[in-house]
Amino acid sequence: MAFAGTNDRGGSGVVRAALTVMKQYDNYLRWLYRGGHPSRFARLQNRATAAVFAAGIFPERTAELQVRGRRSGRVISFPVAIADFEGGRYLVSMLGENANWVRNLKAAGYQAVLRHGRRETVRLETVDVTARAPILRRYLRVAPGARPHIPVDFRAPLAEFEKVAADYPVFRIDARAA
C-alpha cells in the first residue's frame, strides 16, 4: 500500500511533478536564448526586467547593465545578476564570449553603468580563466535563470566549473576605476 504523495515504487509524485515543471522551465529559458542570442520575446522580457531592476525593486544582487552599442552607439540596457565573491562583485556572461553585451563592452573600453535604485559608473575587468571557477559556482547559486545555459550543476565540485571556465567570461566590477 502506498502512502499519500507516493507511488507503489516509493517515489514521490509531488517531487516528480516538481522536477517535470523545473525541466520545462529550463527548456523555456533555453528557448529564449536559442542560438546563443535572445529571441524577440526575450529582448522584450529583458527590457521590462531591466526597468524593474534599475528601479531597485529586487534584491541587491540584480541590476540593469547599460553598455554603449558597438554599431549603433546608443545605450543598450538589460538585466544582470551580480555574484558576490570574497568581497568582490562580478558579472558573468551566461551565453559565452559571443554575447552581444560582451562584444559591446569590449568596444566600449569595458566602461558601463549599473543601475539599482541609483546610477553607478563602473569599469568591468576580465577575470583570468584560472580564477573563474569559484565565481561561476557562486553565480549559479544567485542566478538560477542562468543554470540551463551553463552545463554544470550549481552544487558540483570546483573541478567541474574549471572545465567550462574558459567558455564563460567573468568580469569584476570596479566602481573606482570608472
Structural domain boundaries in the chain: 13-174
pTM: 0.76
Burial of 120: CB neighbours in 10 Å, binned 0-12, 13-18, 19+? middle
Per-residue confidence in pLDDT tens, the chain, 178 aa: 444 444 445 457 777 776 676 677 677 777 777 777 788 887 887 777 777 777 777 677 899 999 999 999 999 998 999 999 999 999 999 999 999 999 999 999 999 999 998 999 999 999 999 999 999 999 999 999 899 899 999 999 999 999 999 999 999 999 876 5
**Most distant CA pair in the chain: distance in Å?**
67
Q: What is the rounded CA–CA span in Å between residue 111 and residue 106?
A: 8
Q: What are phi and psi of 80, to 5 degrees?
A: -140, 155
Q: What are phi and psi of 67, to 5 degrees?
A: -135, 140
For the domain bounded by 13-174, which CATH number is listed? 2.30.110.10
